[in-house]
């Protein structure tokens, strides 16, 4: 009898320990709950078996509940203790198994094996549900920034001699913001100092690796320079991006005004700062202003916009960027022809004198219109427009599906509206866009580059994909993405099949396993202490005092 009880005790500890050690993480909760409730299921099964096999036996609900209560009063505390100890041992074994399994089969991401054809979106989101603006799409994704495409480093040749960059290069993209792109002698002023007429002094610090201001997929070597001394000194980072074309960055937290002249010298475009702005949540800290050099007449002041900037281009034109919650507007300004045109929309050239009215009307229309669920992004060279459709595929889980449009021809080269492809984007070169995709419901995780100039696509990244990755005419990009999703699903299925049962793909964390085991043991100890205290308290209760009969009652006996 004692031996049988010992085997039962060992089984009560070993079975839950083995289950916790081998089941995947997503099933742990159900496994623990099911084992803890196992006696209840066994009891219900025994009652049902008795009812079926012994038809003459009447089993009432009250008797069944009473029987379970009697059994629970005796066995519930030992059962809870056995479960807690078994679970704790299981988490310890789980950590040991996962460490040994990691050396055999590396962890791989888990993907859904559902068909790779996205279902169309149903009804539009409610009017009171507004998706967050996908501002993450304005810069390269973290995965792309971690493995940048190599770019040729050019030797800096400013007006004053500078030390050629050598030694380590650090990436400080979060600490610097784009200030200017232009030519030598374009009238650039940073912090009130004339960049091209004053001598530069290189700061004794490591060179920086920062993105090309117009092609964020390219990294260039920038050196930090100063002009002037003391509090009037202007500090900036500069690199010669191509022959005679320079890019400038300024410190993000420094209120440094920047201004330059257009190619023909007739217009001055400025980046103005208000260090006190931002406290009311309405006024921008930085905004763009365009003035005539001859008369100082302000052609447009963008302080009312949430974000704005003006950039000079190699052909002498200016690009005015205006950003509202729903996306970007790009206006091309031709100083020689004294005209402008909205590159994001079809339309003719308009007189430059009408620019201030056009910008104000555009802002008012954006403010007064009802909430919309599409967002516009335009490439830095003004040749690609991307319209993102926001759809709520889950509770607060928004997917931004892109539609890529060639502004030059007006052709839609890739349309993923109505799908679950979620995109972030960068622009590695002229008329090229790089899209980093993930899928919300179906299999797919890739990076694809569209070359609109040559009408080609190229998949750059695919989990498990072997080189060379697919490429071809841009018309086949959508089909290539769906095929990639199927390959990713097959790769994930193969990885899951080769992985040990106890390895669910998450990185092993022995500390977390021990921590969980200790928590379970602590809870079990608390329950034991509580049960013991209740038992002691119950034993101290005195039995009711006996009734002492101090006088024998008299009885009347009558006889006949």
Model's pTM, two decimal places?
Answer: 0.58
Tokens linked to 307 = 């974000």
CA-to-CA distance for 304 and 361, rounded, in angstroms? Answer: 12
> Along the 560 residues of the chain, how does pLDDT read in single tens digits?
555 556 767 777 788 888 888 777 667 778 888 888 888 888 888 878 877 777 666 667 777 788 778 887 788 888 888 888 888 888 888 777 665 544 433 333 333 333 333 333 333 444 445 566 665 444 333 333 333 333 333 333 344 333 334 434 445 556 888 888 888 888 899 988 899 999 999 888 888 889 887 777 788 899 999 998 777 788 899 999 888 888 899 887 777 889 999 888 899 999 888 766 655 556 677 889 999 999 999 999 998 888 898 988 878 889 998 988 778 899 999 999 999 999 888 778 999 999 999 999 888 876 665 556 788 889 888 899 999 988 887 777 888 999 999 998 889 999 999 898 999 988 888 899 999 998 887 778 899 999 999 999 999 999 887 778 889 999 999 999 999 988 888 887 777 666 655 455 555 555 555 566 666 666 666 666 666 666 555 555 555 566 666 566 665 655 54
Domain ranges of the chain: 2-107+509-537, 118-131+380-498
For the chain, give the longest Cα–Cα distance: 149
Nearest-CA neighbor of 410 among 428, 442, 387, 430?
387
CA-to-CA distance for 379 and 393, rounded, in angstroms? Answer: 27
Are the C-beta atoms of residues 520 and 81 closer than 8 Å to each other?
no
* Adjacency order of strands within the sheet including 298-301: 193-194, 189-190, 258-261, 267-273, 286-292, 298-301
């Amino acid at each position: 009898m004692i031996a049988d009880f010992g085997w039962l005790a060992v089984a009560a500890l070993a079975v839950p320990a083995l289950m916790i050690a081998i089941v995947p993480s997503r099933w742990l909760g159900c496994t623990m709950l099911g084992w803890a409730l196992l006696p209840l299921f066994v009891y219900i099964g025994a009652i049902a078996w008795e009812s079926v096999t012994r038809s003459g036996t009447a089993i009432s609900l009250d008797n069944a509940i009473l029987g379970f209560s009697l059994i629970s009063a005796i066995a519930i505390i030992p059962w809870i203790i056995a479960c807690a100890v078994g679970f704790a041992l299981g988490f310890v074994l789980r950590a040991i198994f996962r460490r040994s399994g990691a050396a055999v089969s590396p962890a791989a991401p888990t993907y859904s094996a559902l068909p790779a054809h996205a279902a169309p979106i149903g009804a539009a989101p409610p009017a009171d549900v507004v998706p967050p603006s996908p501002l993450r799409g304005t810069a390269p994704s973290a995965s792309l920034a971690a493995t940048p495409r190599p770019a040729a480093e050019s030797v800096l040749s400013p007006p004053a001699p500078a030390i050629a960059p050598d030694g380590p290069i650090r990436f400080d993209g979060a600490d610097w913001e784009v200030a200017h792109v232009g030519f030598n002698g374009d009238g650039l002023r940073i912090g009130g100092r004339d960049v091209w007429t004053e001598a530069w002094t290189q700061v004794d610090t490591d060179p920086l690796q920062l993105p090309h201001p117009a092609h964020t997929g390219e990294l260039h070597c920038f050196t930090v320079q100063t002009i002037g001394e003391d509090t009037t000194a202007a500090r900036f980072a500069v690199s010669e991006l191509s022959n005679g074309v320079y890019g400038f960055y300024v410190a993000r937290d420094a209120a440094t005004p920047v201004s330059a002249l257009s190619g023909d010298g007739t217009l001055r475009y400025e980046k103005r700062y208000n260090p006190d702005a931002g406290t009311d949540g309405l006024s921008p800290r930085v905004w763009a202003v365009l003035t005539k050099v001859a008369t100082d007449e302000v052609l447009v002041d963008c302080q009312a916009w949430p974000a704005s900037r003006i950039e000079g281009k190699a052909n002498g034109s200016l690009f005015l960027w205006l950003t509202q919650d729903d996306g970007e507007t790009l206006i091309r300004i031709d100083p020689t022809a004294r005209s402008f045109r909205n590159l994001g929309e079809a339309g003719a050239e308009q007189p430059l004198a009408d620019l201030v009215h056009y910008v104000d009307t555009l802002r008012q229309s954006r403010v007064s219109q009802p909430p919309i669920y599409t967002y516009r992004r335009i490439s830095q060279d003004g040749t690609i427009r991307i319209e993102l459709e926001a759809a709520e595929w889950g509770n607060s889980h928004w997917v931004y599906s892109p539609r890529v449009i060639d502004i030059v021809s007006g052709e839609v080269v890739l349309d993923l509206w109505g799908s679950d492809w979620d995109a972030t984007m960068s622009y590695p070169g002229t008329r090229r866009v790089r899209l980093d995709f993930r899928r919300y419901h179906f299999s797919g995780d890739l990076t694809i580059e569209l070359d609109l100039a040559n009408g080609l696509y190229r998949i750059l990244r695919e989990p498990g994909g072997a080189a060379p990755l697919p490429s071809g005419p841009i018309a086949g990009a959508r089909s290539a993405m769906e095929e990639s999703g199927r390959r990713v699903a097959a790769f994930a299925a193969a990885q899951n099949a080769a992985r040990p049962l106890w390895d669910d793909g998450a990185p092993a964390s022995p500390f977390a396993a021990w921590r969980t085991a200790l928590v379970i043991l602590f809870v079990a100890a608390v329950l034991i202490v509580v049960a013991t205290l209740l038992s002691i308290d119950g034993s101290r209760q005195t039995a009711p005092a006996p009734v002492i009969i101090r006088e024998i009652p008299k009885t009347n006996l009558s006889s006949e």
